[in-house]
Structure 1
């Protein structure tokens, strides 16, 4: 006994629609894996649900970029142009620069320096000495600023104490005459 045919149209009930989406999504992902394994086909499947969540399957023997390049060549449709290619190259360049900076940072921390030659170690030592010199200069500048602020506060404190003493003296004179100021 087989199933009856259903009319292919949007399912109005949202919970029924979600259940059907989940089941059919899992089914189509399973079929994509099966055709990839059984037939040695290169398969790339991307599904975006209503929520925006992405589900994908890409054959282990390929990458999404390879499949899309092949699609672009076979269909004649342009998926990305030179501008996108330039952006991709720029991303690759920035990733390499980031990797290089990560290595340099590790070296500055004294990590992974066994592979460095004498010239590289000398350059690293110079960079560290320059950095240390800059830190010391900044520390002295901050120290001088604190001393300056300390002197200013001390002078203001003396002035306030003097004014307080004058006020107390005047108050004392006022009290002697029976008056409050």
Structure 2
């Protein structure tokens, strides 16, 4: 007994709807691959789920952009204007530039150079030498800056040392003059036992 026909309408149950989408999406992609191989047809397929997830298929040696361009030429319907075409060309140009830069970077690292011409190797060598020169100049500039900062710190240290030395000399002079610590008489700070008694000649003669 065969299966009954399924009524084509929206499946209300979200789980059943997702299961059905996954199964039928796989079936459509399978059919697209089969017709591409069996009939030598150019097939492109784009599917968006209800959640916005995209799935696509494009036959071998084809791209979606090429097929869309062919569609525009065949139907006369413009899918994008000149601005979008310009942006698409810019994207392709930037991709090619990025690929070329990646190749040059590998060459500078010494990778994939076996197939290069001697002239290309010479240009790579010159680029590396120029890079080394620039790095060394930057290092010398950094060292000069360090030495300059070192001299500045040394001068500041010498200045502070000079100030401290002068202050010490001033303190010594104040002590020698008997005045220190706020102008107080230094002699009053000496203990009595260490004070020198004045000599009285008259008393010695009387004895």
One fold, TM greater than 0.5?
yes
Structure 2 CA distance for aligned equivalents of residues 162 and 21 of structure 1? 88
Compute the displacement of 1:145 (Å): 1.6
Work out the CA distance in 1 between the residues paired with 2:78 and 2:107. 44
Match of 2:31 in 1: 31
Task: With the length of structure 2 as denominator, give the TM-score of the two structures.
Answer: 0.63
1:53 maps to what in 2? 53
1:146-174 Cα shifts (integer Å, max 9, x gaps): 223334445556677899998xxx9xx8x
CA contact (8 A) 1:32 1:45 kept: yes
Distance apart, 1:78 and its partner CA: 0.7
The SS at the match of 2:41 is coil
Root-mean-square deviation (Å) = 3.5
Residue pair 1:44, 1:56 contacting (<8 A) in 2 also? yes
Instruction: Give secondary structure in 1 for the equivalent of 2:5.
Output: coil
Q: Equivalent residue for 1:117? A: 118
Secondary structure of the structure 2 residue equivalent to 1:46: strand
Per the alignment, residue 174 of structure 2 pairs with none
Correspondence for 1:14: 14
State how far apart, in whole Å, the 1-side matches of 2:99 and 2:27 are.
40
Count how many residue pairs are aligned between Structure 1 and Structure 2.
172
* SS state at 1:145 partner: helix
The answer as to 2:132 corresponding to 1:132 is: yes
Gaps of 5+ in 1: none
For normalisation by structure 1, the TM-score amounts to 0.71
Any stretches of 5+ residues in structure 2 without a counterpart? 172-180, 182-188, 190-207
Conserved 8 A contact 1:42-1:61: no
| Counterpart position of 2:81 | 81
What secondary structure does 2:7 align onto? coil
